[in-house]
Copies of this chain bind each other. A is one copy, B any other.
């Protein structure tokens, strides 16, 4: 960015009424061209794809987009430049002078002196049609083309900004980034069905394992982050996770991204909830400030009303209720649920939705779940007779569960007892070791990244916020 500005400064020194030839003009991204405040005839070259063509008697208007921003650059040319090849979707290189635009719709426009069509685009065969607003379902059939629409372009830029914002948040707060493994030999965490991996030539001889043991795609980096939290007090990971579930829902994928953090020396769930809320709010504020037009596009065309809903989430403190309170609220609800709410049974999507609505559409932490519902590693609250663990889920409007986390059982004997009872004592000796040598109270959480994007943008189907969705019966490209 800075580079482009400096470049433009230098250009200005030598700008004149017409471009001095044959000196090549400077390449500028559309975003940078649009940001120029007092354009005064700088010679520039812009490259991109034609988003619109409007031919008048004497003037030709083009809009050129290069993916650096939602907005395209208006190119104004003599009508003699018009050609059949200069069509929607074709790639072009335009050289000319950057000038102040007379129209109120843009600051600057490019007065073309040379237009080169780099690659044609035949309208008939092109699945994206000029001036049509294609439904997201339609675009899903063309995973290699849909990024060329405004909507997917905006969603992918937001995804990129959110990724950067998450890395920044953790770095600025002293977290060490860890690449937790994708292939793992842990198979018994109980987080749903696993994908197994073997070399393609050996997949039919499963008695031989490439890694000597059966190996699976990770469902979470938590246990590996816990290893690291015996040496670094704050760690995080942000990578792909997998579920081999036969689900076609609008909230599930076979391959999705998780942001996970683990913190040592935590004292209570409060310490974790503070980081979760901060992460959500800081990331969202950064996205809103860095790509407001992209977010606005989604809020305007995909999810009207979402702007207000998001502002409401951001300006309020998230709420906290216990699982026990949640069940009470559900029991007293004036509506009938398909699954009758009952202490000791998991909350269903319909319950989550009701709870969020009951809380005034403010995100709500539900804490302290029944021990029997949760995996072995969650910290026992020792609160007989109910017997809960220090688990926490964050429920948000529209999406339901966005974060899940817990304090981890750091006490050797309690953990050993629970592992033994589940028959996992031997497989998790290494995990017990972490408690034998310098154990510390610790806890962490995971946030589903696609659900986060759904939540802030209001995108209904998770398949539309990931570049290449993978789910049962579908792995295109």
By a beta-carbon cutoff of 8 Å, the part of chain A in contact with chain B is 1-4, 29, 31, 47-50, 66-68, 89-91, 93, 118-122, 125-126, 143-145, 147-148, 152-153, 156-157, 159-160, 163-164, 167, 171-174, 176-187, 193-201, 203-204, 206, 210-217, 223-224, 227-228, 230-233, 239-240, 242, 244, 254-255, 257, 264-265, 410, 430-431, 433-441, 466-468, 470, 472-477
Contact = CB atoms under 8 A, between A and B. Distances in A.
B472 A211 contact: yes
Nearest to A227: B144
A231 B49 contact: yes
A182 to B, nearest CB: 5
A197 B199 contact: no
Contacts of A468: 180-181, 184, 224
A9 B467 CA distance: 45
A177 B163 contact: yes
Contacts of A160: 176-178
B121 A183 contact: no
Contacts of A436: 121-122, 125
A210 B255 CA distance: 13
Nearest to A439: B119
A215 B473 CA distance: 11
Given A195-B197, A196-B198, A231-B147, A224 B467 contact: yes
Given A163-B177, A223-B477, A438-B90, A200 B182 contact: no
Total copies of this chain within the assembly: 2
A84 to B, nearest CB: 15
B179 A470 contact: no
11 contacts: A2-B172, A48-B233, A49-B438, A148-B438, A184-B477, A185-B477, A193-B199, A203-B206, A212-B475, A223-B477, A227-B467
A204 B201 contact: no
B194 A199 contact: yes
Nearest to A197: B195
Given A176-B156, A193-B199, A440-B91, A475 B119 contact: no
Contact of A147 (B186, B232, B240, B473): B232
Of the candidates A2, A49, A121, the one having the most CB atoms from chain B within 10 angstroms of its own CB is A49
Nearest to A149: B231
A214 to B, nearest CB: 7
A194 B203 CA distance: 11
A13 to B, nearest CB: 23
Contacts of A254: 183, 210-211
A410 B179 CA distance: 34
